[in-house]
Structure 1
């Protein structure tokens, strides 16, 4: 699977860009053409100014199958499997025939339309081996995640046009991004509105860790949970005798 998103819908973290960014990498059109030629039966879809996505079921791991689905202008590519799929079907009111990609789309729609719980909990509720890329064309929003153990090969980077590139194929990522790429962080999710966050440790910040290749060149950074840095809760600290109603 392959997705290339414009900065307007998926602004990449600064740490993904390598100091050697001028070396290698190609634009959206050539990368999509390369993917189609390298993957038998590939389907590519343009998303207008937002970017493009591509999918192929060829040469896949039978233990980590790829799925693709579209519901109400929400596109989703999923690789892997969900172990608690029966429970999630009940939770989201889905029929017996619903598969993993339909569950992810419905989980996203519930989060978007009703938001009964944080996005981190939505991803944390998915038990299994997975990576997925979702794009909502109605709002120009992305929702991307990988499981806590990084069981599915999944990479992201920045191409020569400053677009975010994601794929399970490392050769495609290298073709598109040169040295400006890294494995997608384990146990993390990325959204248009919130950027990169940890769903395992949602209250902690993430810090970039520079990567060095076999030639000693610095590549795109990986991201780790910073156990020392907590996010600002946004709740003001006031004396216990203060009137809290004035804060809302």
Structure 2
């Protein structure tokens, strides 16, 4: 799995980018190299917004990768959802729908009708998972990882400010150098809202410098600031509530 996004659609969170610590090459060159190394991979060009690359090679049988595209929404999912039946019913999906279909429909429901806040959409997913989604119609990124960090999921920023996401830490390090780190457990990221905790959605998120085995700063980890609450306009409750602008 590889996703490369331009900073216009996926601005990196504070602390992830370390000045003067770029990798050996740009994310654009990385994507080209991966396409050549894995000719069987599915490559989706998102125009100026970026690139998605999906391959089922060397995947874990317990945490498989899935890819789907629906109405210009592209999603790569890795892992396994435990409450699939419940979510299929909740989103009105057919029996044949799988995990990646659930994520796309959950996102589309949030975008179009907004019956739930974005943090609840992710929190309702039970299991081991990480996913990255791009909506061409709104030029929006949506990605998340479970609260246990069960699926390998890494991100970083290259020298030109592009956000790089992959399940392979070496791929991210190659493009981003020390401006890379594991994606934080129990968090989700959106174009409009940035990085947020879905377990503590009302609290601010703060970066904490991440130190590697050599004692050098390498990207950042993120934690919830228990003392700082977000200044948000909460939609009214009831059937008229609309959270579609909150994702």
Q: Same fold (TM over 0.5)?
A: yes
Q: Give matches, 1:106-185, under 5 Å.
A: 106-185=105-184
Q: Distance in 2 between matches of 1:128 and 1:177?
A: 29
Quick check: 1:81 aligned with 2:80? Answer: yes
What TM-score do you get using the length of structure 1 for normalisation?
0.91
8 Å CA contact retained: 1:32, 1:44 = no
The C-alpha deviation readout for 1:184-210, integer Å capped at 9, x for no partner, is 011010011100000000011111110
2:23 counterpart of 1:10: no
Partner SS state of residue 30, structure 2? helix
How far residue 229 of structure 1 moved from its aligned partner, in angstroms, is 1.6
Deviation at 1:32, TM superposition (A): 0.7
For 1:216 and 1:151, how far apart are their aligned partners in 2? 26
Unaligned runs of 5+ in 1: 236-248
| 1:46 matched residue in structure 2 | 45
Q: Give the equivalent residue in structure 2 for 1:61.
A: 60
- Compute the RMSD of aligned alpha carbons: 1.3
Partner of 1:103: 102
| Aligned mates of 1:56, 1:110 — CA distance in 2 | 27
**Aligned counterparts of 2:123 and 2:15: Cα–Cα separation in 1:** 25
Question: Residues 25 and 159 of structure 1 are in contact (CA less than 8 Å); yes or no, is this contact kept in structure 2?
Answer: no
Alpha carbons 1:7, 1:163 under 8 Å: kept: yes
Distance 1:120 1:25, change over 3 A: farther
Residue 24 (structure 1) shift: 2.1
Matching residue of 1:244: none
- 1:33-85, CA deviations, whole angstroms, 9 ceiling, x for partnerless residues? 22224446222221101011101000011100000000000000000010000
Q: After the TM superposition, which segments of 4 or more aligned residues of structure 1 sit over 6 Å from their partners?
A: none
The aligned residue for residue 36 of structure 1 is 35
Name the residue aligned to 1:245: none
**Number of aligned residues:** 234
1:25 Cα offset (Å): 4.0
How much has 1:216 moved relative to structure 2?
2.1
- Asked whether the 8 Å contact 1:75–1:135 carries over to 2, the reply is yes
Which whole-Å deviations, capped at 9, do the CAs of 1:83-139 have from their partners, x for residues lacking one? 000000000000000000000000000000000110000000000000000000011
Q: Distance in 1 between matches of 2:74 and 2:130?
A: 14
User: Matched residues in 2 for 1:140 and 1:183: separation?
Assistant: 24
Q: Could you tell me how far apart the structure 1 residues matched to 2:32 and 2:6 are?
A: 18
CA distance in 2, matches of 1:129, 1:213: 26
Distance in 1, Cα, partners of 2:131 & 2:71:
18
